[in-house]
A and B are shown apart, each in its own frame.
Chain A
Amino acid sequence: AQSVTQLDSQVPVFEEAPVELRCNYSSSVSVYLFWYVQYPNQGLQLLLKYLSGSTLVESINGFEAEFNKSQTSFHLRKPSVHISDTAEYFCAVITRDDKIIFGKGTRLHILP
């Protein structure tokens, strides 16, 4: 069965510092991978996705993630975080039968 592991439940980082949120998945077949962001008291917003092609995908607000098949990872990075990036971030994979499997989430705390 496919699964998603987010290695850190919380990540504190100073404003304007770089950040990496880690995600590993288990799957023996090709996967579609996603990062969703959830701001306080809101639903999920798609941040970026990997379907095929270039292994480096970028979002419009400066985040990027790299699909690494050999390490079964899809880590999310941003070179300089802003206070507005405070949120919970979920890594997810779509299964062959079209279900989205989410990780448990990583809460990003931006310190002033």
Chain B
Amino acid sequence: DAGVTQSPTHLIKTRGQQVTLRCSPKSGHDTVSWYQQALGQGPQFIFQYYEEEERQRGNFPDRFSGHQFPNYSSELNVNALLLGDSALYLCASSLDRGGYTFGSGTRLTVV
């Protein structure tokens, strides 16, 4: 049973560019959450998707947007990249509040 799969694993972008990160949830999970983990920090909640809609959102600007598809997979889009957007982006899927599973993350470097 595959866990949470994220792609790509690493990415280098230039300031001002746009990026799309992808996440496939664990089989049977219907909720996907995205987190940003800056170097040396704990993960910070970006937003959560359920039934193809954004259900919750953390304190992130509108440059951060997402989407959930009918098969529960999800994308995170970041526009107008800043150097400060460099981080590990983690996707987590769940079916209920007690069972979150995290992917290995996408390491984004903005230069």
Which residue of B41, B45, B103 contacts A43 across the interface (Cβ within 8 Å)? B103
**Which residues from A are CB-within-8-Å of B103?**
43
Known contacts A42-B105, A98-B31; can you find 17 more A-B pairs with CB under 8 A? A42-B104, A43-B90, A44-B90, A44-B102, A46-B101, A51-B98, A90-B42, A97-B56, A99-B33, A99-B45, A99-B48, A99-B58, A100-B45, A102-B42, A102-B44, A105-B41, A105-B42
When C-beta atoms are compared, the residue in chain A nearest to B42 turns out to be: A102
Q: Which residues of A contact B97 (CB under 8 A)?
A: 32, 94, 98
A98–chain B nearest beta-carbon distance, Å: 6
B32-61: which residues lie under 8 A (CB-CB) from chain A?
A: 33, 35, 41-45, 48, 55-56, 58
Q: Which of chain B's residues have a CB closer than 8 A to the CB of A105?
A: 41-42
The 7 lowest CB-CB distance pairs between A and B, nearest first, are A102-B42, A43-B104, A44-B102, A43-B105, A104-B42, A99-B45, A51-B98
What is the total number of residues of chain B having a CB less than 8 Å from a CB of chain A? 24
User: What are some 16 contacts across the A-B interface (CB < 8 A)?
Assistant: A34-B100, A42-B104, A43-B88, A43-B105, A46-B102, A90-B43, A98-B48, A98-B55, A99-B33, A99-B45, A99-B48, A99-B58, A100-B45, A100-B92, A102-B44, A103-B42
A27–B48 Cα distance when bound, in Å, is 21
A45 within 8 A of B: yes
- Answer whether A32 and B98 are a contact pair too, CB < 8 Å, given A98-B56, A100-B92: yes
Majority-rule SS of B interface residues: strand
Contacts of B35 in A (CB 8 A): 100, 102
Report, as a range, how many residues of chain A touch the other chain.
20 to 34
Q: Complex formed: what's the CA distance from A34 to B104 in Å?
A: 18
Cβ-based interface call for A78 (8 A): no
